[in-house]
Amino acid sequence: MDKLIIRGGKQLKGEVSISGAKNAALPIMTSSILASGRSAFARIPDLMDVRTMGRLLSNMGASYSYNEGSATIDSASMNKFEAPYELVKTMRASVLVLCPLVARFGRAKVSLPGGCAIGARPINLHLMGLEKMGAKIRLESGYVIAKTSRLKGASIYLDTVTVTGTENLMMAAVLAKGTTILENAAREPEVIDLANCLISMGARINGAGESVIEIEGVDELKPLKNYAIIPDRIETGTFMSIAGITGGDLVLKDCRPEHLDAAMMKLKDTGVIFKETKRGLRVIGPKNLIAKDVKTIPYPGFPTDMQAQFMAMMTIAKGTSVIKETIFENRFMHVAELKRMGADISIDGGTAAIKGVEKLRGAPVMATDLRASASLVVAALRAEGETVIHRIYHLDRGYEKMDEKLKKVGADIERVKG
Ligand code: EPZ
């Protein structure tokens, strides 16, 4: 397994190109199932999860090709409607094929995703919504088996704000007979991007990005010639944290700052400076960071996917920061590893208290999940001495060429193939 060796203490300077959003790419790739024919998508990042999704679609008979950021998917030849456990266990977002398969073919057999490092992450709300739309659902040896002649519109209240639940049910509704209302829907920019993609295929969707989304079903959707997805707001936020912790000066190109209002306001409070320039968003880290509290909540609040990176910054801030994680029940796996680097963190349930220390020291540490691994990179870029981050396949799932981008702005980092 590959590992990263980072020698910290450098002030990173230069330009970083932000890639397309992983969490927009995955649902938008599955939306190609809904429109028979060849769809093409641009700014698709070259990530492990994207490759896994490509394999999943190919296994179902679609033809998939990827080259330099553009993905082409021809769903006309699809002849299998199953997402096997072997693939789903490596990427829970595979569950996003469930509703497009039922909507287009009236059937699907998808492995239940099982738990993951950060929490139980059930899909009960995806299934509740699909049932309300008339699908017959049964669970059999770890698989969801869904069948219907044709889905029909329904009013669905989501008890918990769920991003992929909203996305899945939106994809179920676009080909249903009648109108569907999704209440308490997720408002993430990735939900809006999926809706815009579906609308370009001919879907009728109102309110994406709000808590109530109304979808009027149509009989058929048309494949897309070229749809460019949004940039990755969490990669953007991660590089903001890197500029913040290293006292660096980075220009983030091709990003959409408006997708990160809450995170940017919080970073500003810690002393990070932002300047819009013609080349992109300039982010300047202060000499000393000020400790601030954070609570993760659904969009447009502070994103849970930025919690670990923000915590890494707070380990060397002046004062004590209290971080409340309200979305996932086990998203503090990075804490033990940060403490190995000298951080002073105590946990009480979903709350962590981080007392700023003078400095972090490099150490061998282990990545446990995608954003935990990002937080170890953030901390290692500040730590004195050498940090070796093991199991960086977690990082490769969601960050495109992270080590190359960091090297370009002066980081002392190397990837060791293992
Ligand atoms: C999406 O996961 C993202 N993944 C996650 O990003 C992100 O952390 C999460 O949304 C929250 O923003 C993708 O978009 C591919 P949820 P998702 O359903 O949709 C509970 C990353 O780092 N819930 O919004 O799986 C669930 O347990 C990844 O890029 C139910 O109870 O998350 C959680 O507590 C990690 N029943 C809460 O809702 C359901 O049926 C939010 O989960 C569905 C969810």
Q: What are the structural domains, with CATH classification, of the chain?
A: 3-19+231-416 (3.65.10.10), 22-228 (3.65.10.10)
**pLDDT, position 1:** 87
For 274, list phi and psi in degrees, rounded to 5: -115, 140
Q: For residue 415, name the pLDDT band (cuts at 50, 70, 90).
A: very high
**pLDDT, position 135:** 98
Dihedral sign, CA of 372, 375, 377, 383? negative
The DSSP line for 70-135 is EEEEE-TT----EE-HHHHTT-GGGGGGHHHHHHHHSEEEEE----BTTB----HHHHHHHHHTT-
What does the pLDDT look like over 225-236, one tens digit per residue? 999 999 999 999
Cβ–ligand 1 distance for 50 under 6 Å, the answer: no
Cβ–ligand 1 distance for 191 under 6 Å, the answer: no
**pLDDT, position 119:** 87
**pLDDT, position 32:** 98
Q: What is the mean pLDDT of residues 404-418?
A: 96
**pLDDT, position 272:** 98
Which ligand 1 atom minimizes the distance to the CA of 328? 34
Tell me the sheet residues that pair with 276.
281
Which tokens in the block code for residue 267? 């970073």
For 234, list phi and psi in degrees, rounded to 5: -80, -35
Q: Which residues are catalytic?
A: 116
Cβ–ligand 1 distance for 160 under 6 Å, the answer: yes
CA of 287 to the centre of ligand 1 (A): 35
Site to probe by mutation for ligand 1, drawn from 121, 193, 234 as the one with most ligand atoms within 8 Å of Cβ, is 121
Site to probe by mutation for ligand 1, drawn from 30, 164, 229, 307 as the one with most ligand atoms within 8 Å of Cβ, is 164
What does the pLDDT look like over 96-131, one tens digit per residue? 999 999 999 999 999 998 777 888 889 999 999 999
Q: What is the mean pLDDT of residues 32-45?
A: 98
Q: What is the mean pLDDT of residues 261-280?
A: 98
* Beta strands at 344-348 and 351-355: parallel, antiparallel or unpaired: antiparallel
What does the pLDDT look like over 277-311, one tens digit per residue? 999 999 999 999 999 999 999 999 999 999 999 99
